[in-house]
Chain A
């Protein structure tokens, strides 16, 4: 069986989560590899969430927020942008392959973009294979 990567998505309520809903209401089709956690703002994302997702065995982590400047809370995603850029560097410094952590700005009207991002990220991760560097404990869980 082909390797099916498992992606943890963390999406802000106002833009990316709503954009993902729009992809659904317009019946776009994309791979089912992403499981999304909803937070109110991308600025809520603690870098430890990302690291934890990898420890839990995620093959990729996708963070989605409003476009910089369009944050529902004004400036939240500007902080998120800086923090997540450092997180990315930290992950790579600690040995994570580049390309497993992706941050995308997807607005509530960009259902198309959401579907495209999930599709391309899934394909990238398929090429990278299973993530083992950060995973703690048991083998990949069942289900897939």
Chain B
């Protein structure tokens, strides 16, 4: 005989609005073995928790059922509650009457009936629950940060500051990310390089940060506290241990490659550092652009290198590291605007995208900071087109959050540099940050022309002789209700920030979920924005969704703190719900050994039965369902428990 307590939460009105909670508690009280049933406004609050604990003591309860929000939300909370009242934490069942009941119907009768069935199922299951003992594992104290943009840099620096060893893995040959490409940053207009490059240097100088550039994560094994990561060091064809960064090689190199850093606006050498402030300051060879790799002749760099550092024979190598926690800060891609034919990007030379314009402004850019177009002329009139691909159900439904602000910044800088006419074509002006609205007001004063409407088309065709040689932007001005055509010299597109092209592969590599666009999914949108469903794995910056620099930096710091909560401990508790073999029923077929992705079941030749190494078991239950002799059971999800729950569910 069990002594079960059922506690029904109102969740304010979230549950109580659709489910008749007092009726539900009354119903629960009539079920066999239920000795107490109660409802309360907020079961997760201190009074709610105390109510459960008092009832455990008063009624000598040995099982607790909480009908509230999803177990993914507060199972851990209530486990602690009953544990603190002296009950084993696994003697708890959560009934999800919010996300999967009250919130998905407006019909009170239906919602209440379903809740009754769910509670009955939980009562049936609760009777069969067993107390379980937690397992502990040793925790590796090191952390890996993937992505050397501003979010990753921030996370790495913060962690190193606490004394932890950090591996910072970056796929490019320098850290810095998108922020290194920017000229000025909104709304303060301080120069991006001035605030970023000292941080990049701090990474390089920090003895606790192992900076791994031109590296990619190849394989991730293990779990929280003990991740085994295999990293591919891509061939650089330059021995960085020998290289003294004199850059004589880059001067002599005849090869030409496309400068990624300058968004393809100019060429760079085949042996190159991406930009003068790159970290590390050591060159790599672009195999596709290198004359030697293409023709078998040249090797000029080798001839001029005083250190003998050029290594054409270099191959990719692999390195294996062990870490206790991982932070992913892999950033975003800018949407490719070429497929949006109506805007003419790639066809009309006067059309630019935002990152190209950043490079045109930048003193270290291809034009030395002068705004000159592909035809060498300075534009006299410029239109900036917001929401290209963002807030567009055909592409990305979300708002990319940064475009209004950087478009305002562009307007300011274009005014300053060209004294031309600047038009902003926007749907809504979104400036929801500290000092952002003030920045917008400042721009209004600066004689920028604001037109409320999304640009429909950019064309170079017109019958009007006044428009000859101009780009014509067509837009419905939604404030005046008129269709207008604006002749300009230059068009700037503000495209959507989108997930990295390989975000899905990354998600698979790290066992993450992605949202419908491909951004990494957080564990909870409000309460756990940096955690993921995989314990010990955290996310920061624009890999989770569009973000500006302040938010990315804040998340970098936050993710460092999250990672620290794990690696600060020597040992940590693991889920106790593992699989167990009943040796007297095991037929020795070794199905379990074959199917387990973690190598947890081991066949003991002396006894001719399988045993499960609990340290490796993750509790998925695959072996249990694959065992033809039903000799394996999964703790907390036994056959009997699952079937009893179904029986309870089907009674009402």
A contact set with B: CB distance below 8 Å: 6, 8, 10, 13-15, 17-18, 20-25, 27-30, 32, 35-41, 43-46, 48-49, 52-53, 56-58, 69-70, 72-76, 79, 83, 107-110, 115, 141-144
Contact = CB atoms under 8 A, between A and B. Distances in A.
Nearest to B103: A24
B533 interface: yes
B618 interface: yes
Contacts of B99: 20-25
Interface string B33-72: 0000000000000000000000000000000000000111
Contact of B637 (A29, A40, A53): A40
Contacts of B101: 24, 32
Contact of B508 (A20, A70, A109): A70
A35 B620 contact: no
Nearest to A70: B508
Contact of B622 (A76, A109, A142): A76
Interface stretch (B197-205, B248-256, B295-303, B640-648): B640-648
Interface string B619-652: 1111011100000001001010011011101111
Nearest to A39: B637
B472 to A, nearest CB: 40
A-B residue pairs, 9 tightest by C-beta: A44-B621, A24-B99, A143-B652, A43-B622, A24-B103, A41-B620, A21-B99, A32-B110, A56-B650
Contacts of B111: 32
A79 B578 CA distance: 19
Interface residues on B, range: 35 or more
A53 B651 CA distance: 12
Contacts of B104: 23-24, 27-30, 32, 115
B590 interface: no
Contacts of B637: 39-40, 44
A109 B595 CA distance: 28
A110 B516 contact: yes
* Residue from B71, B619, B620 having most chain A Cβ neighbours under 10 A: B620
A24 B98 contact: yes
A20 B70 CA distance: 10
B597 interface: yes
B516 A72 contact: no
A97 B210 CA distance: 61
Contacts of A107: 513
Contacts of A45: 625
B595 A32 contact: no
* Residue from A36, A37, A56 having most chain B Cβ neighbours under 10 A: A37
Given A21-B96, A32-B111, A32-B114, 6 more contacts: A13-B72, A46-B639, A56-B650, A57-B650, A74-B597, A75-B597
A41 B622 contact: yes
Interface of B: 70-72, 96, 98-101, 103-107, 110-111, 113-114, 116-118, 121, 507-508, 511, 513-516, 521, 533-534, 577, 595, 597-598, 618-622, 624-626, 634, 637, 639, 642-643, 645-647, 649-652
B415 to A, nearest CB: 42
Given A29-B105, A49-B643, A108-B533, A141 B651 contact: yes
A58 B650 contact: yes
B100 A20 contact: yes
Given A14-B533, A69-B508, A143-B651, A56 B646 contact: yes
A115 B96 CA distance: 16
A21 B521 CA distance: 14
Contacts of A6: 650
Nearest to B639: A46
Nearest to B597: A74
A144 B113 CA distance: 7
Contacts of B639: 46, 48-49
Contacts of B649: 8, 35, 37
A40 B650 contact: no
Contacts of A13: 72
Nearest to A19: B513
Nearest to A13: B72
26 contacts: A14-B513, A14-B533, A17-B72, A20-B100, A24-B98, A24-B104, A28-B104, A29-B105, A35-B114, A37-B649, A39-B621, A40-B619, A41-B622, A43-B620, A46-B639, A48-B643, A49-B646, A52-B646, A53-B646, A72-B534, A72-B620, A73-B622, A79-B626, A108-B513, A108-B521, A144-B113
* Residue from B103, B106, B521 having most chain A Cβ neighbours under 10 A: B103
Contacts of B114: 32, 35
Given A37-B121, A38-B71, A73-B618, A52 B511 contact: no
